[in-house]
A and B are shown apart, each in its own frame.
Chain A
Amino acid sequence: MEFLFIFLFILLAALFVTGGLVASRLVAPHRPGRVKNRPYECGNKSVGPAWVQFNVAYYLLALLFLVFDVEAAFLFPWALAFRGAGWVGFLEVLIFVGVLGVGLLYAWKKGALEWV
């Protein structure tokens, strides 16, 4: 029943977007032009596509994010049951977080966190 609602809301969002756009299509003007439909670059003619090689720092950031977000996902079960797990569980999580903390320090020292 509850998951049915998730699908219903996905449909509702689709309907909200398409309904609005279709209604807007009916009343809004539609006069495309060759110059008008070019990418906007403050009046300059754009040189080449925007799909080019990008700064590698973003990739490093994505890797770091992956590590720490997965860490957070792994911590959720512990957070729910840590009263039962007690100090032993706490110690284990300390080791787990510690390993990732050392990883963060390593990335820090290597300069992965510096934005050039």
Chain B
Amino acid sequence: MQIWSPLYRPSIWSFRTSIGNREVGMDMWQVTTLAARIQESLLNQDFVRAGIFLGGGLAATVAAVSLLGLVLVYAERKVAAHFQCRLGPMRVGWHGVLQPIADGIKLFLKEDIIPTEADRLLFVLAPFFCILGMFLAILVLPVSPEIQIIDLDMGVIFLAAVSGFGVFGVLLGGWSSNNKWSMLGAMRAAAQIVSYEVSLTLALLVVVMFSGSLKMSEIIQSQAAGWWIWRAHGVGLVAFLVYVIASVAELNRAPFDLSEGESELTGGFHTEYSGLRFGLFFLAEFINMVLASAFAATFFLGGWMPFHLGDWQAFNAVMDRIPPLLWFVGKTSFMVFLFMWFRWTFPRLRVDQLMALEWKFLLPVSLVNLLVGAAVVLSGFYFFS
């Protein structure tokens, strides 16, 4: 449905604008969560339905995590191979599609070694923290209007808090190994994650400021008039770029992978980990990449919102036909591909360059960006009521 407003500008690059589009957005999309459905079933005394939803939700989460891990290992290897004009895994199954399953079985059957000089308790706990951070972030992820587990009122703050668990896992894993490589890798990784966390939070703050809400569903619906990346005269775009750079650094991925630089540190914090424990670190890393992409899509690319172009009613109608789930999957896959692309495009940074990039460039840029964004909104430029 088309929303008309006196502030509307007839140009293809001005996306739909409206006064109070947040209220209109509420009417357009009916959002439900798993928690809300279970609550409703319980109120109706329908305990079987509540049980089915609860069990199904938990099982689906575990299944999705395991499956995504397999798919990503395959995707990463294939994308990497084709960037280097190789074929990648080809032997196991059709075009090597069963390769990640073979890898998984191998990891499962490997001996689980805990070094004698390690701090046993912390060594065992470390992978758990990585997995915990991942699971808790999935909790607030809006996959489509119908698929979301809980929609917290303070979703963004919850996300920022939960993403800190990964640092615990890395730092504990590296420290408890009692290995110099692990220790160095862990310290570097912690310093890096902690530094880029600041810019990441400030970039999210811009979106919170524009949408006026910490709730994931409301942040998505505030983008009904245009995705945040395009709006606010470039402020959104700068915030998006800061978010992407900071999240690549948070994920310890190339070009910021010097905490695991295999040529320098033999693997970094997980040097001493073997078998399934190593697999858990690996899984958490891959799923965290998907989550970073998914949240980038949610905050800046409209989440499950379809793409709309000005007053092109026919075009918009076609776009509305595509289900929100597909939009979300498409945007997330694009971001994941972007992260894989980065790995084969940029050379690895030095430690001092890494720190200089964050503290001398990204932090000032994101602070100024935040203030410029606030000034733009307060001075009432055309797209805000």
Residues of A within 8 A of B (CB): 1-2, 5-6, 8-10, 12-14, 16-17, 20-21, 23-25, 27-32, 34, 36-42, 46, 49-51, 54-55, 58, 61-62, 64-65, 68-69, 72-73, 75-76, 79-80, 82-83, 86-87, 90, 93-94, 97, 101, 104, 108, 113-116
Contact = CB atoms under 8 A, between A and B. Distances in A.
Interface of A is mostly: helix
A46 B266 CA distance: 15
Which of A39, A64, A73 has the largest number of chain B CB atoms within 10 A? A39
B213 interface: yes
Contacts of B182: 50
Contacts, number: 189
B197 A28 contact: no
B127 A17 contact: yes
A12 B136 CA distance: 10
Interface string B148-161: 01111000110000
Contacts of A79: 205, 208-209
A10 B370 contact: no
Contacts of B32: none
A31 B271 CA distance: 19
Given A28-B108, A40-B266, A114-B352, A72 B205 contact: yes
B374 A82 contact: yes
Nearest to B186: A50
Contacts of B191: 58, 61-62
A14 B110 CA distance: 21
Nearest to A15: B62
B117 A62 contact: no
A6 B352 CA distance: 38
Contacts of B355: 61, 113, 115
A13 B111 contact: no
A69 B178 contact: no
Contacts of A87: 378
B112 A25 contact: yes
A95 to B, nearest CB: 11
B136 A9 contact: yes
B135 interface: yes
A101 B183 CA distance: 32
B277 interface: yes
A91 to B, nearest CB: 10
Interface string B177-209: 111111100010011001101100110010011
Contacts of B275: 24, 28
B116 interface: yes
A27 to B, nearest CB: 6
12 contacts: A13-B131, A13-B132, A13-B136, A17-B128, A32-B113, A64-B195, A65-B194, A76-B156, A80-B208, A82-B378, A93-B374, A116-B352
